[in-house]
Amino acid sequence: MACKLCAACLLLTCRHAMAGYRVVDTAQAKCFGAQDAMTCPSSGAFLGQDAQYHGVQPSYTDNLDGTVTDANTGLMWQKDPGPKMQYADAVAAVNSFTLAGHSDWRVPSIKELYSLILFSGRDVSGAQGTDTTGFTPFIDSAFGFQYGNVTAGERVIDSQWVTSNVYVSTVMNQQECFFGVNFADGRIKCYPTSSTSSANPESPSSGEAPGGCTEGSGPCTGGACPDGPPPDGLCPDGSKPPPPSRRLASMGYFTIYVRGPVYGENRFAKIENANFSSSAVICDEATNLTWMIEDSGQGFSWQEALAYCESSSHAGLTDWRLPNAHELHTIVDYGRSPDTTNSAAIDPLFVVSPLMNEAGQTDYPFYWTSTTHATEGQVEGGNAAYIGFGRCLGKMNGQWMDVHGAGCQRSDPKTGHASNYPDGHGPQGDAVRIQNHVRCVRTGVISASTDPVSMSRAGEASFGGSVLAALLLPLSGF
């Protein structure tokens, strides 16, 4: 089926491949302002956020045989990860793994595993104690999710899950790592492949002596305490808590295997129209998403980023929006990085604005998503998710370095000033920029003779003009 971008009757043609893959909705149902939940706006400030665009909704079936099937992607998953494993063991074990009569399992790619993340979850980075009652993880209840085992010396957020994607560069002190999804705090980071690593991306300071457990000690007064390891944050005096035991790396990671169709392979096509200056777009024939070839060229606050896309008429089209976390993640290229390909982690068809990072290196931006990264606590919606297409820097031992890898997904405050975070934020000193770049997206089948057909905001018509409803494809689906 062909889709055509109609700009003043001069068509940009983009074919939609029927053998593509669906990008599932993030399941974020609430709208947020700068800090708190709000009624979804029909105009003005904060228009165009994740919850206002309804895509293909998550749908999972527990097959009652130890597997879960994703009705949208066609992937079958191992339901319960079981005990944690070392990375090498998890990769090796799949070769002899059999479940529900199937032996064709594989370690999921980062794009496959991230397809399961749901932003109806709440980040529990600040949680202390052992009680996880009432917490909402970033994965459907059909799966056997577990928070970290605090009584065994872990933190509540220690729920890192394995993928097959080893970083093409390194993090910390030249540490080899794999990109994993944390379904407890809703992030992608690069975790050590070796259990003997001294550079743990979940540790506050690589290379420091591990903190001991002292009776009566607190997380900010000398090592791990009886109530559990330090929270993912700073001590009351502004200092970083001591590092958790180096046993964290040796405790391993959760793993669920997957089987089924190939998922996450892009089919990009650059489409140009000589009658419009700077009107080129990139169609992904696999996902039915159309992207601006160029980014915003400068950073914006989250509110400004939403407005930038909502008000755009690039290439004569007016249905651009800020992509949600799942959508933006589809264009990450984990085979690229600043240190190995001298580029952003994205296909070279895309134009990426270079910048000077906190370490004084030429680098590439973090890009906002329309997805709020909600947290447990009084300020529920103060952060939004971004994806780093350049080095995901943190400040460790007073030095800025790549701590989570190009292709990480973290979050930034929606408001404020980066100057207020000279040492970053959290135990790895994550760089805080707040003014992040933007790459707008649109979706849907376009008629050659009428207005574009695309996914609409909740409550609005999903097609316009005389276009047949039968032409409309679901968000990023078919």
The residues spanned by each domain of the chain are 2-24+264-442
Kindly state the average pLDDT of the residues 329-349. Answer: 98
The predicted structure's pLDDT at residue 251? 85
Q: Is the pLDDT of residue 209 over 70?
A: no
Whether residue 234 has pLDDT greater than 60: no
Residue whose entry in the numeric block shows the structure tokens 């064709």 = 104
In 243-339, which ranges are continuous DSSP H helix?
247-251, 302-310, 325-329
Pairwise pLDDT comparison (213 vs 102), residue with the higher score: 102
Lowest pLDDT segment from 36-40, 219-223, 399-403: 219-223
Q: What is the pLDDT of residue 411?
A: 98
Provide the pLDDT for residue 18.
60
* Per-residue model confidence (pLDDT) at position 451: 36
Q: What is residue 280's predicted lDDT score, i.e. its pLDDT?
A: 86
Mean pLDDT of the chain: 83
> Coil, strand or helix: which one is 386?
strand
Reading the block at residue 138, the tokens are 């970033």
Please state, for a pLDDT cut of 70, what percent of the chain lies above it. 76
Mean pLDDT of 392-404: 97
In angstroms, rounded to a whole number, what is the distance separating the alpha carbons of residues 50 and 62?
Answer: 27
The values of phi and psi at residue 171, to 5°, are -125, 170
Contact criterion met (CB below 8 Å) for 59 and 72: yes
Q: Cα angle at 360 between 355 and 364, to 5 degrees?
A: 25
What pLDDT does 458 receive?
56
Q: Is the pLDDT of residue 417 over 80?
A: yes
Cα–Cα separations (whole angstroms), residue 311 to 36, 44, 305, 454, 462:
24, 11, 10, 16, 19
Q: Give the pLDDT score at 443.
A: 87
- Reference 195, options 253, 265, 150; nearest CA is 253
CA distance 457 to 191: 37
Rounded CA-CA distance 415/153 in Å is: 35
SS3 assignment, position 132: coil
pLDDT tier, 242 (very low <50, low <70, confident <90, very high otherwise):
very low
**pLDDT tier for residue 143 given thresholds of 50, 70 and 90:** very high
Strand partners, 412: 384
HSE toward the beta carbon, residue 262, CA cutoff 13 A = 5
Report the pLDDT averaged over residues 53-82: 98
User: Quick check: 447 and 467 in contact, CB under 8 A?
Assistant: yes
Query: How confident is residue 446, by pLDDT bands cut at 50, 70 and 90?
Result: very low
Position 454 pLDDT exceeds 50:
no
Q: What are the pLDDT digits (tens) for 165-206?
A: 999 999 998 999 999 999 999 999 999 999 765 455 554 333
Closest CA to 193 of 89, 110, 97, 114: 89
The token duo for 144 is 């056997």
Mean pLDDT of 284-298: 96
Q: Residues 196, 212: contact at Cβ < 8 Å?
A: no
Average pLDDT score over residue span 106-111: 99
